[in-house]
């Protein structure tokens, strides 16, 4: 169970998300990544195996511009630590992205079902089923699609999801894994650990299970 950081506001999100992930580094991790909403019709991601420094080096060459993003530090439970298994995970059309802390206990059954429906997976993680389920239920409203997805999941999770078609929105949910929202007048932050929020705001909301 490792780290999540999200930002939506009027500032460039890349720097804030990396800074946020750095606060969560102390928990240990094997890889990291970021997904950015851009004016393009797809979500852009960068992920790297190893230290956040590797992600930063990649972002120096391929910076991601935008004001809404989610980031993750992974501690692998399902699938070895590789770039492919690092979060965020995208749906097949790259229009939805998810980061996840925890374990989806029924992922194997969900994955078999989705594969039988023709979905192609790109990683070995339990997490990837979440984004394909959101895609399956997505009819233009991300909250509704995530709410429906949660009904299918068994396990522990903190998740954050973005959709390219809904700029400025991050949908988050949790079950037995911490997740906190921080807000200012113009911005929203999301983190799996309150310590990553306090340099930005002390207006925090702890998300409840379900």
Q: Does 173 bind ligand GLU (CB under 6 A)?
A: no
Of residues 9 and 33, the one with the C-beta less far from ligand GLU: 33
Q: From the CB of 175, what's the least distance to ligand GLU, in Å?
A: 13
Q: Cβ(88)–Cβ(33) under 8 Å?
A: yes
Q: Does 82 bind ligand GLU (CB under 6 A)?
A: no
Q: From the CB of 9, what's the least distance to ligand GLU, in Å?
A: 25
Binding segment toward ligand GLU, per CB under 6 A, in 9-17, 37-45, 70-78, 198-206: 70-78
Tokens of 116: 């039988």
Q: Cβ(98)–Cβ(131) under 8 Å?
A: yes
Of residues 66 and 173, the one with the C-beta less far from ligand GLU: 173
Q: Which residue is nearest to ligand GLU (CB)?
A: 2
Of residues 65 and 106, the one with the C-beta less far from ligand GLU: 106
- Count of residues that bind ligand GLU according to CB under 6 A: 15
Q: Does 27 bind ligand GLU (CB under 6 A)?
A: no
Q: Does 78 bind ligand GLU (CB under 6 A)?
A: yes
Q: Cβ(45)–Cβ(60) under 8 Å?
A: no
Tokens of 198: 């306090």
Q: How far apart, in whole angstroms, are the C-alpha atoms of residue 87 and residue 17?
A: 14
Chain Cα centroid distance, residue 95? 13
Q: Does 91 bind ligand GLU (CB under 6 A)?
A: no
Binding segment toward ligand GLU, per CB under 6 A, in 55-63, 71-79, 111-119, 137-145: 71-79
How many angstroms separate the first and last alpha carbons of the chain? Answer: 18
Binding segment toward ligand GLU, per CB under 6 A, in 74-82, 114-122, 133-141, 159-167: 74-82
Q: How far apart, in whole angstroms, are the C-alpha atoms of residue 41 and residue 63?
A: 18
Q: Does 45 bind ligand GLU (CB under 6 A)?
A: no
Tokens of 68: 């809404």
- Count Cβ atoms below 10 Å from residue 186 Cβ, excluding itself: 9
- Count Cβ atoms below 10 Å from residue 113 Cβ, excluding itself: 15
């Amino acid at each position: 169970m490792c780290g999540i950081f999200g930002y939506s506001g009027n500032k460039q999100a890349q720097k804030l998300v990396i800074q946020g992930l750095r606060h969560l580094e102390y928990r240990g991790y094997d890889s990291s990544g970021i997904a950015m909403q851009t004016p393009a019709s797809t979500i852009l991601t960068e992920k790297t195996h190893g230290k956040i420094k590797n992600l930063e080096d990649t972002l120096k060459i391929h910076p991601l511009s935008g004001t809404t993003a989610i980031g993750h530090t992974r501690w692998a439970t399902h699938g070895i630590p590789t770039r492919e298994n690092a979060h965020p995970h995208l749906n097949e059309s790259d229009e939805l992205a998810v980061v996840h802390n925890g374990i989806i206990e029924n992922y194997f059954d969900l994955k078999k079902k989705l594969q039988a429906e023709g979905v192609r997976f790109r990683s070995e993680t339990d997490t990837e089923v979440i984004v394909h389920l959101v895609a399956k239920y997505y009819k233009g409203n991300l909250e509704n699609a995530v709410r429906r997805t949660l009904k299918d999941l068994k396990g522990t999770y903190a998740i954050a999801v973005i959709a390219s078609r809904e700029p400025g929105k991050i949908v988050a949910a949790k079950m037995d894994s911490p997740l906190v929202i921080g807000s200012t007048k113009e911005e929203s932050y999301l983190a799996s650990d309150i310590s990553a929020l306090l340099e930005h705001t002390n207006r925090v909301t702890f998300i409840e299970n379900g």
